[in-house]
Structure 1
């Protein structure tokens, strides 16, 4: 069907723009249930400042509260054990369950973000976490703690973490790596501040009052999350008046874009087991927004044929949030619409006007009090770089988008077009239900098992699992161990704070070094130092030796979070980042689940030394097992190249 002219009411008629749509082809899409529909591309427009700084501050505070509670459980351990009469070996299982679900539920939380938006998810996570900790205040047995403090709170943690960490990357482009670094250091500072605070409150009023205090902090995140306002997004729709023309998706869309045919039925791809399970195709089955636009504008296809006939149209719709858009965003919209290569005097002009309501965007208080509804068409998790935390300038996709576009034709949205995957019109029109295509497609993308067939990726996953088996042990047990070794309690309450402070420094410094050094080697060296220092911490219990250990452990263990996306992209490419991250979160969660319970058993039978030696050994093993990953990856690429040549 042909698009109708678009008209969005405006308070500033002078902002109306005329543009001429180019050819497109009608696309029956059997990946979405066999219905004939158009292919659309959805991109968000970053602000790179302005309200983005408010969002950044809110994300920092949210992560501060979240990890400040989740990773300082050890400060409550003694009082909880005495009150509930549960051994300190079994009780940390509660924290392990919550941290495990914190990671394992990542794909599900990402799917909900794609369906309902960042703000709805962080506010829901706030309610779930606050209610779970409030219920834990009344707990009198181990089982109820596992259910509420562990399972339900862990899921709330996951929703908050995913929303707060991911939204910053959508508000910034040029300053994205800096903004993400600031936001994620909220975790380190939260651990640093909350550890002594928890110890003080626990000694003063008990663990129940401290948990009630934590419940109130999570309740604050509900209001902080209100700042996560929707961004301006653009929908690029391709349609045609010719019902006989169809297009299918190529199995490898990274370079080819779309394949055009003139026939009655579409040749579909054979769905994978994951796609059959979730009833949706993964992101890799769809072209990028840049491919959609370029194919329309230039009339290019991967195969020769009559597809160059002028029968198609390109329709661009601005989905403006209720609070309006900034002048910079308006300029970007005007620029992309008025690009010289989008003009064609032989086609009908489509009038597009952008809604600007400046009265709603004046002042911070006005923005906070104005409730903006989620834009239903928004699909943030269709971006390949959603989980990327490194410098965009290092990405081939960013370099290509900047170099291949002439200066006079740049719109400022080339990179967004290059990393955003297309959607179908059926997907964008779905408004009801929880597990719609928007949610199921993210699950299919993050849970796809294709990478698990690679030895290199299995090494990466095992490295994550092994490191997280040892990761939680110092956070939970170092205060108790050092008190038993005769270090004053007031100093013991600061050890986890030192870990948090050095962790913040490590995220920034090691992240910068990773831009100059091979990230796999940096990760391996860091894990070796973190693991070795954990083992050696058993041989000297002087105050300064323990402070040195906490600094070294916190500084180098930060690599596990800060280098994950960089390592994945360097080996498997940006288009596999979402899939690899989803699977790695499962392995990290599994490692966290066994971390402190295993250490508790070893503590009971052999003492704290055995628990810390075991934790350090697992961290070292995680650093060693990742070393052959580059070699395995080269062998896999060579094998794939030879196979393709033989075909």
Structure 2
């Protein structure tokens, strides 16, 4: 038998067909229409245009965090101009930063429905408009709406799209690419604070806000580089009316059961699944690998078989202009080297339909626009929020162990982390709040994790840490000015935090591969909190720079270790769910952080405000310490019950 993939190509897609066994079912999860279970996987480029995307992501995050985390340069001038207390002014940015986190699930749903590029460009328009409107606003309540709420929603859309897309372009080089892209946050804070201070002193906060509006407008054009990735849709179909596939979500994500039945329809039974937003969570669906392995298991059964042969179809979705030769060769190489064909003992032949490309003039070729692939479902991947080394993931190790060394490709891992979708979902291309959006919301906002005491402690820690996190960024300049420190150096303290934060992201991210990320996370938060409490001991210039360096380095763990901590505690399949809940508590902490600190400062002075901020950060670190023990005990109890 020949083991070559069958490729049928036209101007919009190429289809690879491998004979196998089994699956067709009604989509009871999506509303009851009869359909098939499918899975969509993206194909990373691992270089090439991916580095352009890394640069674009860096610049987007540079502008975003360079504006949102340098609000301290606005505080005094805005308070004087609006004639309100600085605690009310601090609330403006607190609302924006709170929505920066809280709106994360909505932004993720938007990404899954319309793609990364549409999300970042929409966020750019929202931010540019809201900050432009703030320039003309004289009423405080209206400013809360534009500078706070609307801008915060735009922040979230830019943050999620620019922060996640890099992970889809890279696999082996993902940690390096992600480190470069996310360092835009630290470099943006380092660069923008002195620039903002200079512009505010030169022309006031309104003209500086107008400048920021223009910067966010540039992200619209930067985001155009977020091209849609080539994606494969895995579909299994059969004409056998006696085959039944029952999927029990309450057992496990890969718990597919094949049984014989006299019915003419298959059943997908969500017996114990909770529904949120009229959808169910990702982890209630099997992975693409489970779909493939299901067919290979049945095909490997000894003895004669009377079951009808089914088809495993990998449909390659490229931009509307068609799949180029390089992409087609990439698919062929991945499939021919993968063990998928061997699993199915495929009798496979090669055929290709040639279609002439559309003619374009010079400008059409130069400014060609690759539209969003409607079938793409990036947020159905378990590792969408993971930014560590993939080699450390059990899913990656398992996919590599089960594949011969000479046959290893990116396909095995992509199949292992991509959750199945329904055909009805893939074909639903009208409207905003479709299944693609609702399912992501159901995944990120699923409250089941809150039933675990260890996760409640993690959420409490997230809230406490962000009660104090923003205080140094907002108040350290004015505090040191009041203490008589040289004004020139006062503008550079936040820059020192940003520089050390960039170094911390790299160093802590590397150490997390060898040290327990939870213990490192707890330790750095405790050090950051204690250093903040001790920052008022001396206003010596070198001491203040030392504090900023220590604080910036330690709080880098909040961003670079979060996903690793969540995976180590709850597994990769719960990462999206845990991230959604943690973002909510980050936002709640940010909402009350600087306004409360401002009230404390006005009543008791800067030292008490910084002492309180440091206390909350350190307390958040101490709360993390017993989580590992609680999680380990629960795992042992579950193993004992089994």
Give the whole-Å Cα distance in 2 for the aligned partners of 1:16 and 1:68.
43
Give the whole-Å Cα distance in 1 for the aligned partners of 2:33 and 2:15.
33
Give the whole-Å Cα distance in 2 for the aligned partners of 1:57 and 1:234.
26
Give the whole-Å Cα distance in 2 for the aligned partners of 1:495 and 1:356.
60
TM-fit CA distance, 1:237: 0.8
TM-fit CA distance, 1:632: 0.6
Q: Hey, what does 1:248 align to over in structure 2?
A: 246
TM-fit CA distance, 1:22: 1.6
The answer for unaligned runs of 5 or more in structure 1 is: none
CA RMSD of aligned residues (A): 2.7
Structure 2 residue 601 is the aligned partner of structure 1 residue 600: no
Give the whole-Å Cα distance in 2 for the aligned partners of 1:256 and 1:16.
28
Q: Hey, what does 2:295 align to over in structure 1?
A: 296
TM-fit CA distance, 1:245: 2.3
1:454 to 440, 452, 455: 452
Give the whole-Å Cα distance in 2 for the aligned partners of 1:101 and 1:306.
60
Q: Hey, what does 2:3 align to over in structure 1?
A: none
Q: Hey, what does 2:87 align to over in structure 1?
A: 89
Give the whole-Å Cα distance in 2 for the aligned partners of 1:374 and 1:170.
15
SS in 2 for 1:432: coil
TM-fit CA distance, 1:9: 2.1
Q: Hey, what does 2:10 align to over in structure 1?
A: 9
Which region of structure 1 is more displaced relative to structure 2, 365-374 or 94-103?
A: 365-374
Structure 2 residue 415 is the aligned partner of structure 1 residue 417: yes
Q: Hey, what does 1:401 align to over in structure 2?
A: 399
TM-fit CA distance, 1:403: 1.8
The answer to whether the 8 A contact 1:464-1:587 is kept is yes
TM-fit CA distance, 1:359: 9.7
Matches within 5 A, 1:133-282: 133-251=131-249, 256-263=254-261, 264=263, 266=267, 268-270=269-271, 272-273=273-274, 275=275, 277-282=276-281
Q: Hey, what does 1:480 align to over in structure 2?
A: 478
Give the whole-Å Cα distance in 1 for the aligned partners of 2:576 and 2:438.
14
The answer to whether the 8 A contact 1:332-1:412 is kept is no
Structure 2 residue 550 is the aligned partner of structure 1 residue 552: yes
Q: Hey, what does 2:582 align to over in structure 1?
A: 584
Task: Call closer, same or farther: CA 1:354–1:181 in 2, change over 3 Å.
Answer: farther
Q: Hey, what does 2:311 align to over in structure 1?
A: 313
SS in 1 for 2:270: coil
Using the size of structure 2 for normalisation, the TM-score is 0.93
TM-fit CA distance, 1:75: 0.3
TM-fit CA distance, 1:251: 2.5
User: Structure 1, residues 77-127: CA drift from partner, whole Å, max 9, x if none?
Assistant: 111111111111221000000000000000110011000000000000000
Using the size of structure 1 for normalisation, the TM-score is 0.92
The answer to whether the 8 A contact 2:19-2:309 is kept is no
Give the whole-Å Cα distance in 2 for the aligned partners of 1:599 and 1:611.
5
Give the whole-Å Cα distance in 2 for the aligned partners of 1:108 and 1:160.
12
Give the whole-Å Cα distance in 1 for the aligned partners of 2:117 and 2:355.
22
The answer to whether the 8 A contact 1:26-1:243 is kept is no
Give the whole-Å Cα distance in 2 for the aligned partners of 1:448 and 1:355.
46
1:39 to 37, 40, 47: 37
Give the whole-Å Cα distance in 2 for the aligned partners of 1:123 and 1:18.
34
The answer to whether the 8 A contact 1:300-1:308 is kept is no
Give the whole-Å Cα distance in 2 for the aligned partners of 1:316 and 1:167.
23
The answer to whether the 8 A contact 1:227-1:368 is kept is no
The answer to whether the 8 A contact 1:454-1:636 is kept is no
Give the number of equivalent residue pairs.
Answer: 632
SS in 2 for 1:315: strand
1:502 to 494, 500, 505: 500
Task: Call closer, same or farther: CA 1:356–1:225 in 2, change over 3 Å.
Answer: farther
TM-fit CA distance, 1:347: 6.4
User: Structure 1, residues 290-310: CA drift from partner, whole Å, max 9, x if none?
Assistant: 111222234269x99999823
Q: Hey, what does 2:24 align to over in structure 1?
A: 26
TM-fit CA distance, 1:604: 1.2
Task: Call closer, same or farther: CA 1:640–1:340 in 2, change over 3 Å.
Answer: closer
Give the whole-Å Cα distance in 2 for the aligned partners of 1:577 and 1:341.
27
Give the whole-Å Cα distance in 1 for the aligned partners of 2:615 and 2:14.
65
The answer to whether the 8 A contact 2:22-2:243 is kept is no
